[in-house]
Amino acid sequence: MDGHTFTASIFHDPRQRALWVLYQLRLRGKNFATIGQELGLSNSNVRDALFRPNYRVEQKLANILDVPIETLFPERYDAEGNRLVEVRYPEGRAAHRARKAKEKAA
């Protein structure tokens, strides 16, 4: 299925979106567990990103499904494509901690 043949309205209802995402992942031979393994997260972290912001997971899902991240999670972006939800650790929590420890040691 081409990423552009979907009905964008499905993404406004988080429950419908979650079902659609899971279905699309299964068509591609993936699931929340395999994505979690690729990102070093649990499958529940991946699932939770459908309902609570997690930029790394959102980005991974959008890439796998070939859907723009702003389309997949429209409530998290404004009309210009700017993220409305703050990303606390864009480089990942472990990298953030390592950077902070290095700064503290210096």
The 10s digit of each residue's pLDDT in 3-43 is: 455 556 667 888 999 999 999 999 999 999 999 999 999 99
**In the structure encoding, which two tokens stand for residue 2, read together?**
């081409």
Q: Measured in Å, how far apart are the chain's first and last C-alpha atoms?
A: 51
For the chain, the structural domain boundaries read 8-105
Interval 72-78 mean pLDDT: 90
pLDDT for position 104: 80
Question: Given pLDDT bands bounded at 50, 70 and 90, which one contains residue 97?
Answer: confident
pLDDT for position 1: 45
Give yes or no for residue 94 having a pLDDT over 80. Answer: no
Q: Which position has the higher pLDDT, 100 or 66?
A: 66
| Residue 72, burial from CB neighbour count under 10 angstroms (0-12, 13-18, 19+) | buried
- Are the beta carbons of 49 and 59 closer than 8 angstroms? no
CATH number of 8-105: 1.10.260.40
Q: Which position has the higher pLDDT, 4 or 85?
A: 85
Cα of 81 vs its chain's centroid, Å = 15
pLDDT for position 39: 95
